[in-house]
Every structure is written in structure tokens, then in C-alpha cells.
Structure 1
Amino acid sequence: MNSFFSYESKFSQVLMKIVDIICSSLLWVICSIPLITIGASTKALFHVTRVGLNGEDGYIFKKFWDGFIDNIKGSLIMWMIQGALLLVLSYDAFVLSHLAKNSIVFAFLYYVNYFFILYVIVWAIYACAYNNRFKQSTKVILKNSALLAIGYLPYSFMIIVVFLAAVLLLYYARITILILPAINTLFADSLMEKIFRKHMSKEDLEKIQQKEEEKKFKR
């Protein structure tokens, strides 16, 4: 019985993982309340996913804060740009929804507009993950993440489908806000890590593999 509840038992490890997921999701919600900080809090959630939820040591609160304040200026600028685009496209969708009733052309533009809304959402997710993984200028991060979102459409499609499924689930079950942000980020991070590694140098890949081997050895 004691071994079942011990720190190193499978049960305790799973329980702590669930607690970490809930804490990470709540931190994201709290830090996203000002709206302008959504980009920084999402980037922080990716940071927690990479160095916390995936098995590395460290307190979730500290990891989240480290990710939040790291390049916070760049995170704010990127989200202001992408958030402004989403507002404009959302307004266009509202206008086109009325015009589409009497015109096939506007009906077509209505759906095209929604395609761009989904693309900006995916672009924002890529940008947050990219900002967490690489130390580059805001301009480069925006450009490269936009290109990756287009260049890896199958991955982007899976990311947006899971994102929309999470939004739908949240709409019907608000309590899922306790886990959905972290779980959604875990899924997106696992896909984008595959993309990022395709563009990393041989030296960087060797460092990552060395860290992964050390992690397996500790387990």
C-alpha cells in the first residue's frame, strides 16, 4: 500500500501529471484575462509543455513564469498583430454573412474569409511554439511561423481540428477549461516539434538526443 502511494509509484506520477495539467491550464486562463497577454501566456504554456509536462524537473509555476516573461515584448507585438487581423476578419465575416444571402459571390467570399480566420489562428499557434523554441527577432518568428503553417498543411489541419474540437467541447462542458488548454498545447507541441527538428542543425539535434537519452536513463 505504501509503495502504491509513494512518490515514485505510477499512481503518484499520473496524479502529479494531472495536477500539473490543471495548474498549467489555470495559469493560462488567468494570464490570458487581459486579452493582450494571450500570446505571452500561450507561449508560456508551450514552455511548460516542453520543459515541464514532458518530464523535465521544475515547478510548473516557475516554468510558466519563466516562459511568460521571456521575450514578452515580442509575444505582445505578435499577438497584437494577429489579434488585430482576427478582429478585422471577424468583422468581415459579420458583414459578409448578411451580403451572402443575396449574392453567390459574397457567399464564396464569406467562406474564404473563414479560411483566413482559421489560418491566422494556426499561424498564432505556430508563432507561440516557434517563439518558445528559438531565439530570433519578432519579424523572423512571424515570417517563419507563417511559412511553416502553410508548408506543413497536414499538420496545420490536425492542429486546427483539435483546436476547434476543444472549443466545441468547452462550449458544452465549461469544466474542461481545467485541462483543455494544456492538453491542446501538448498535442500541438508534439506535432510542431517534428517540424522544427526537420529544420534544426545537426549539432542542435545531437544536443536534443543527448538530453532525451539522459532523461530516459534517470527514469
Structure 2
Amino acid sequence: MDKIFNYDNKFFRGLNKVVDMVILSVCWIIACIPVFTFGAASAALYDTARRVIHHDEGYVWSGFWGAFKSNFKQATKAWLVQLVIIIVLLGDIYITWIGLKAGQRWGALNVVFLIMALIVAAWTMYTSAYISRFEQKTKITLKNTFLILIANLPWTVLVILIFAVSLVLLYLLPIVIIVLPTGVALTYEWIFERIFRKLMPEEDRLREEEKDKEYRG
């Protein structure tokens, strides 16, 4: 009986993780409501998922809002640039879709613009995660994340696939919104950390690897 009600056993630790995931997802949803804050919210989501959910460092609520505040300026500037591009591409997708339904040849460009929109969506995800890990000027961050996206195309395809599956899942089962953002962030962490650690000084990379070993141990 003592083992069953021991709050350090696997069941209670797993339950605590699920609760933390729900809280973090709700924080992200609230922070995204103004739309222009999406970049800062996503950077905070990634940072908190990596540090608190994955490595048990600190608390979800304070961790998220602390990261949101510290990343707000740069993440918002980067996101607004990407948002303008997304709006333009969505307009192009809509126009070409109308042309496609009308039988116009130029309507076939709809596929091209759709692919471009998915690439930009992946770019925003790379950027949010990158901002939570590195401190650089916004212009350099946007350039670096785009180059990283291109240099790691197989991973980028997986990032886009996860994004697309998440949208479909959300459409079919809206209730998953309470855990989906954190679940996606943790999945992206598995991908992005493999990429980002190649960019870190050896000392920082070894420290991160040691931290992973301690958590698994």
C-alpha cells in the first residue's frame, strides 16, 4: 500500500507530467490569444517543455511566463516578419484555389504556394526553438534558422509532417488541445536538440549531454 500511495512512484510521476503538460498547453493558448504574441508564446513553450517537463527544472507556470517575458521582444519581432509572409502566402493559396476550381492553368500554382506556406510554418518553429536556446540579433536569427532548415531537410520534412498531423488530429478531436501543444513541443525538442547541439561550443554540448544522462539515470 505504501508503494501505491508513494508520490515518487512511476504512476504519480507520470500523472504529474500529464498535469504539467495540460498547464503548459493552457499557458501557451492564453499567451497566443493576441496573435502577435505567438512567437514569444512558442519560444516559452519550447523552453518550458525542455527544462521543466523534460528535465524537471523548476515549475511550469513560473517557468513559462518567465521565458515568455525574457524572449518577448526578439520572438515578437521575428514572428511579425514571418506572419506577414504567411498572410501573403495564404492570400496566394486562396486566389490560386479559386483559379484551380475555375479550371485556370495558373491555379496549379496552388500546390507551390501551399508547400511554401508549410516551409514558412516550419521556419517559425525552428525560430521559436532557436530563440529559446541562443541569443542573437533578430536578423541573424531569421537567417540562421532558415539556413538550418535548408541544411537539415530530412528533419524539416518530419517537422512539417508532425505539424500537419497535429492539425488533422486537432480538427478530428478538438479536446486534445489541452495537451497537444506541449506534446508537439516535446517531439520537436527531440528533433531540434540534435540539430542545435551541433552549433554549441563543446563545453555547453557536453553539459547538456551530461544533464540528459542524469535525467535518464
Does TM, scored on the shorter chain, surpass 0.5? yes
Aligned to 1:53, what secondary structure does the other structure show? Answer: helix
Question: Cα offset for 1:213?
Answer: 4.0
CA–CA separation in structure 1 for the residues paired with 2:103 and 2:163: 32
CA–CA separation in structure 2 for the residues paired with 1:140 and 1:133: 14
Contact 2:21 2:53 in 1 (8 A): yes
Question: Cα offset for 1:94?
Answer: 0.8
Aligned to 1:51: 51
Give 1:49's aligned amino acid.
Answer: A
Question: Cα offset for 1:214?
Answer: 4.2
CA–CA separation in structure 1 for the residues paired with 2:92 and 2:104: 15
Give 2:156's aligned amino acid.
Answer: S
Give the length in aligned residue pairs: 216
After TM superposition, list the pairs within 5 Å mapping 1:94-105 onto structure 2: 94-100=94-100, 101-104=102-105
Percent of aligned pairs with the same amino acid: 33
Runs of 4 or more above 6 Å deviation: none
Unpaired runs of at least 5, structure 1: none
Aligned to 2:58, what secondary structure does the other structure show? Answer: coil
Aligned to 2:197, what secondary structure does the other structure show? Answer: helix
CA–CA separation in structure 2 for the residues paired with 1:28 and 1:2: 37
Aligned to 1:136, what secondary structure does the other structure show? Answer: coil
Aligned to 2:86: 86
Alpha-carbon RMSD = 1.3
Contact 1:5 1:11 in 2 (8 A): no
Give 2:93's aligned amino acid.
Answer: A
Question: Cα offset for 1:56?
Answer: 2.3
Aligned to 2:169: 169
TM-score when scaled to structure 2? 0.95
CA–CA separation in structure 1 for the residues paired with 2:159 and 2:41: 18
Give 2:164's aligned amino acid.
Answer: L
Contact 2:25 2:179 in 1 (8 A): yes
Give 2:48's aligned amino acid.
Answer: V
Unpaired runs of at least 5, structure 2: none
Aligned to 1:134: 134
Are 1:118 and 2:126 counterparts?
no
Give 1:18's aligned amino acid.
Answer: V
